[in-house]
Amino acid sequence: MTYSLIVFIIARDQSQIFQGANVIINAKELIEFSFRLIDIQIKKYKQLATAGVGPDAKISAALIQAQVGKLLTHLNHVLSLDEVDDKELLAFAQNLKFYLNCEYLRGRAGWLLDDNKIHNTVYERVSSQLEELKGICSNEPLPDINEALLSPFQKQYLQDSHEIAFLILDLATKLKENPNRKDFGSNYNLGHGLKIMQTHAAPNGRYHNPEIGNEIKQKYELSKDFLENSPLQKSTRQLDKDTAREYEKKDKKEFKQLLEQFLQKYPESKLAKEDFKWFNVATLDKTNKANSSKALRNWGIFTIGVITTGIAATWAMQNMCAQEESSQNSWWPGL
C-alpha cells in the first residue's frame, strides 16, 4: 500500500507556505521500519541503564525510554486506523526522522570522542536508517518537523540531545587543552574511558587530527549556541537498572501486542520471516548472534508448515531477545 502526497513546509513565522517535492510513502515499510527502530531503542535504554558509563548514561536512558513510550503510542494510533491517510503517514515519518536526527546528533558526538566499536556502530546504524527512511519515502527529501510545531516533549528531547552532545564535545575540548585533566565533576562517569580519551588528547592523538578537531569545534559551537538561546533546562530524570528492567518488560509487552496486530494486517511482512534478524545495539560481532532457523526449531513453533500470526509475533519477540548481548566490558557512553 502506498500513498502519494504533496508535502507543504510551513515557514516558522507561519506567513508563507512552500510547496515541496512529491513524496510517496509505503505504509507497510514505514511501519516495519518503526518496529525495528523501537526494538533498538528498547535494547538501548536497558543497556545504558544497566551497563552504561560516560557522560549522562542514565539520563540518556531515561530520555530514550520516554521516546519509546511516545513512539509506541504513535504506532498504536497508526495501526488503529482502518486506512492510514496521507497526513497521518507524513506525520509518522517525520516523527521517526526527528528522533533519528537527534540520535545522530548524539551519536556523531560520541564517534568524534572515540571511534570505537560501539560508537561506530551507533553512527553507521543511524546514518543507514536515515537513508532507509528516505528510500521508504520514494527517495525524496522528507521535510523536518518545523521547530515551531514541535510538541513540548519533542522540544525537551531536542534540548537534551544537544545537552548530551555538548557534554561529550566539551569533554573532548577540555582534554585537548589539557590531556592530564581529571577534575570533571559529578556530571561525568568516565570509567576506563578516561585513559582512552587522554590518549586521543595527546599531541599526536585523534583530537589533533585537523578533520576531527575541526568537526569537534564546529559541533561544540553548534550545541553551545543552541543551548544558550534555548529557554529550556536540561532534564534531571534518570533511569536506574531496576526501573529500566520494569520499563523494558512493559514496553516489550506493548511492542508484542502491536506486532501481532500488524502481522494480522500484513502476514507477509519480513518481520515474521524465520531468517529475519533484529539489530544488535551492543556489538557488530556476528559469532554470538542466534541462528534464527535453529531457534525456530528449538522453540517448536512450526505447525504443519504454517506459522500463525500470534506465534509469528511471539517468535519475532523471542528472536529479538535472543540476539541481545551484554556490553559490560565496553566503553559505553550516554548516547
**Which residue would you say has higher pLDDT here, 82 or 14?**
82
Q: Which pLDDT does position 22 carry in this prediction?
A: 67
Q: Which pLDDT does position 132 carry in this prediction?
A: 96
**pTM for this predicted structure:** 0.79
Digit-coded pLDDT (tens) for 63-87:
999 999 999 999 999 999 988 888 8
Q: Is the pLDDT of residue 329 over 70?
A: no
Instruction: List phi, psi (to 5°) of 241.
Output: -60, -50
Read off the pLDDT of each residue in 100-118 and give the average, rounded to a whole number. 90
Of 99, 35, 41, which Cα lies nearest the Cα of 281? 41
Q: Which pLDDT does position 272 carry in this prediction?
A: 94
Q: Is the pLDDT of residue 320 over 60?
A: no
Q: Is the pLDDT of residue 113 over 90?
A: yes
Q: Which DSSP state fits 55?
A: T
Q: Which pLDDT does position 326 carry in this prediction?
A: 38
- Per DSSP, the residues of 218-270 read HHHHHHHHHHHT-S---------HHHHHHHHHHHHHHHHHHHHHHHHH-TT-G
**Which residue would you say has higher pLDDT here, 261 or 190?**
261
Q: Which residues are CB-neighbours of 257 under 8 A, at least 6 positions away?
A: none
Q: Which pLDDT does position 147 carry in this prediction?
A: 87
Under the banding of pLDDT at 50, 70 and 90, the label for residue 328 is: very low
Q: Which pLDDT does position 119 carry in this prediction?
A: 64
Digit-coded pLDDT (tens) for 194-234:
889 999 999 999 999 999 999 999 999 999 999 999 999 99
Q: Which pLDDT does position 253 carry in this prediction?
A: 98
**Which residue would you say has higher pLDDT here, 136 or 116?**
136
All cell numbers assigned to 261: 496486530
Lowest-confidence pick of 111-120, 161-170, 295-304: 295-304
Lowest-confidence pick of 28-37, 120-129, 225-234: 120-129
CB 258 within 8 A of CB 76: yes
Q: Which pLDDT does position 101 carry in this prediction?
A: 97
